[in-house]
Structure 1
Amino acid sequence: MAAAARRLIARARSRRSFWSSSWAADPSTPSASSPPPDTNKKKPPPASAPHRLAAVMDAVNERKLPPELRGRGNAVRSETDIANVVEQRIWHSMEEGHFENLPGKGKPLNLNSNPHADPAEDTLYRILSKNGCAPEWVELNKEIRGMIASWRSALRKALANRSEDDYSSWNDDCRVLQEQIRQINDKVFRYNLIVPFGRQMFGLNWDKEVDKLQSK
């Protein structure tokens, strides 16, 4: 009886040790000493709309660059870099003879037409030129320059005749000259509205004109 009891106790101990070793060897079973895995780990936030738009714009600008300047990361693509690439391409084309046997080589340039101007305006200017007429802005430019020259001559004369004891004549001259400068600036404003882009002119400033003559 005692022997049978001892055998049962030994068998129970062997089973308990087996399950204990199996439990310890199971990697999927969380242990008391190791912390549970963090399932609430924050994911990186998605890129915002401005960042995505900036990335698209960078990709578009990258495609516009010459092949020599693409894929350079954050390298500075200055106008000098682009000019160097253009110059290299021109030299390569010259060495390969692409500039030989061009149409019009050795002939005078045709300056009767401007390929960069509006066809309607170009035709109108040629008609006016053949009939001895000039566009309105050309005539207005001549008129404004003549008025400015006369006005500056009158201002120079008024400053020379100004007396330190009597400012009454100088004040009268100032009123007349300031009215004339207003008329000139009105014409300059109209001129800038009708003149082709890049030919605009500045109006006159009373204080600057007086200071310029007094500093001489």
Structure 2
Amino acid sequence: MALRFAARKVLSSSAPLVHKSGTSGESIFVRGRWASSSSSSSDPSSPKPNKKVTHDRLASVIDAVNDRKLPPELRGQRNNVRSETDIINVVEQRVWHAMEEGQFENLPGKGKPLDLSSNPHADPAEDTLYRILNKNGCAPEWVELNKEIRNSIAGWRLALRKAWMYKGGSDDSKWLELSEVLKLQLRDLNNKVLHYNLIVPFGRQMFGFKWEREIDRLNDEIQMDK
């Protein structure tokens, strides 16, 4: 039994058996070891990949992909495309050529009012919900919040213009007092903008308001009024 158990244990091992002859002539099996793959991979004589060639091949593939993204008029001239304006110009030229060729004439529904009762690009469930809200004189939260933000920033800018009249005088204490109040109000407005951006559908987010940018805006308006 002991010999059978030992034989099973030997055969179940993953290492190979090597046959050798004992000193007294009997046959014995010695546990061998598999050659490590790391020894062959660490062979200094094996060729190393050329990093420059690999980088050049990858760059050429990326250039080819980016070139395919361009309109046919600009393909092969990617180095001359400096901004999106060049691509927009090509699109506008295509539109004008199509108009000159009369491709926009005799289109279905030409001269008829647009049917805005439903939005074909919106999710059907959301479109149904919006129509129900519209019939009952209601609007989604983000629509109402958008109106509130726009009305609030318009009133805030008017208050900033009035407070600006106290700046630059002999006593700036009134301006400093009003500016601190306006900064707090602007922070509250930005909190509403943050909430609006979290609930509004994708693509309708708005930028926040910055004090320095509003001051520059006010200065530009004052210069235009002169």
What residue is the counterpart of 2:159 in the other structure? 154
Q: How much has 1:184 moved relative to structure 2? A: 0.8
Are the counterparts in 1 of residues 196 and 205 from structure 2 also a CA contact under 8 Å?
A: yes
- Letter matched to residue 138 of structure 1: V
Partner of 2:76: 74
Structure 1 CA distance for aligned equivalents of residues 167 and 65 of structure 2: 66
Gaps of 5+ in 1: 1-44
Specify whether residues 163 and 120 from structure 1 end up closer, same or farther in structure 2 by C-alpha distance, changes over 3 A only.
same
Find the aligned partners of 1:106 and 1:130 in 2 and give their Cα distance.
Answer: 27
Shift of 1:63: 7.7
Aligned residues: 165
Amino acid at match of 2:161: R
Partners of 1:159 and 1:61 lie apart in 2 by 50
**Greater share of strand:** 2
- The Cα RMSD (Å) is 4.2
In the alignment, is the contact (CA less than 8 A) between 2:133 and 2:140 conserved in 1?
Answer: yes
Secondary structure in 1 aligned to 2:76? coil
Please give the per-residue CA displacement for 1:85-114, whole angstroms capped at 9, x wherever unaligned.
Answer: 7887899995xxxx87x7667765432222
* Cα pair 2:130 2:140 within 8 Å, conserved: yes
1:129 aligns with 2:131: no
Alignment partner of 1:143 out of 136, 142, 148:
148
Following superposition, the deviation at residue 131 of structure 1 comes to 1.5
Q: Deviations over 1:137-179 (max 9, x none)?
A: 1111111122112222222222224573333333221221111
Name the structure 2 match of 1:114.
119
Q: Which residue of 1 aligns with 2:35?
A: none
**Normalised by the size of structure 1, how large is the TM-score?**
0.54
Query: Quick check: 2:193–2:207 contact (8 Å CA) kept in 1?
Result: yes
- Residue 188 (structure 1) aligned with residue 190 (structure 2): no
Q: Could you state the TM-score of these two structures normalised by the residue count of structure 2?
A: 0.52
Counterparts in 2 of 1:190 and 1:51: CA distance versus 1, 3 Å: same
Structure 1 or 2, whichever has the larger Rg, is 1
Structure 1 residues 54 and 128 mapped into 2: Cα distance closer, same or farther (>3 Å)? same
Tell me the equivalent position of 1:207: 212
**Percent identity between the aligned chains?**
55
Distance 1:91 1:53, change over 3 A: farther
Give the whole-Å Cα distance in 2 for the aligned partners of 1:82 and 1:153: 41
